[in-house]
Amino acid sequence: MKDDKTKKIEEETVSKKLNISQWAEDDRPREKMMAKGSGALSDAELLAILVGSGNTEETAVELMRRMMIDCGGNLNNLARWGVSEFSRYKGMGPAKSITIMAALELGRRRNLQQAEERIAIRSSHDIYDIFHPMMRDLPLEEFWILLLNQAGKVIEKIRISNGGIAGSLVDIRTVLREALLRYATQIAAIHNHPSGTRQPSMEDRNVTDRLRKACETMNIRLIDHVIVSESGYYSFADEGLI
Number of domains in the chain: 2
Among 158, 225, 134, residue whose Cα is nearest residue 188:
225
CA–CA dist 137, 115 (Å, integer): 28
Q: What is the pLDDT of residues 46-87, one digit of tens each?
A: 999 999 999 999 999 999 999 999 999 999 889 889 999 999
In a domain, 175, yes or no: yes
One-letter amino acid at 230 equals E
Q: Which of 117, 144, 164 is a domain's end point?
A: 117
CA distances from 126 to 129, 172, 204, 233 (A): 5, 24, 21, 11
Query: Would you state the torsion angle of the CA atoms of residues 115, 119, 120, 124, taken in this order, to the nearest 10 degrees?
Result: -170
- Give me the tens of pLDDT residue by residue for the chain, a chain 242 residues long: 545 554 444 444 444 444 555 555 546 888 988 888 888 899 999 999 999 999 999 999 999 999 999 999 999 889 889 999 999 999 999 999 999 999 999 988 887 666 555 689 999 999 998 998 888 778 889 999 999 999 999 999 999 988 755 444 789 999 999 999 999 999 999 999 988 889 999 999 999 999 999 999 999 999 999 999 988 999 999 999 98
Among candidate residues 99, 117, 135, the one where a domain is terminated: 117
> What pTM, to 2 d.p., does this model score?
0.55
Say yes or no: 113 and 130 in one domain.
no
Residue 241 in domain:
no
Mean pLDDT, the chain, rounded, equals: 85
Question: Are 111 and 36 members of one domain?
Answer: yes
Which residues partner with 235 through β-bridges?
Answer: 226
The answer on 105 and 137 residing in a single domain is no
What are 210-224's pLDDT values in tens digits?
999 999 999 999 999
Rounded to an integer, what is the distance from CA 33 to the centroid of its chain?
17
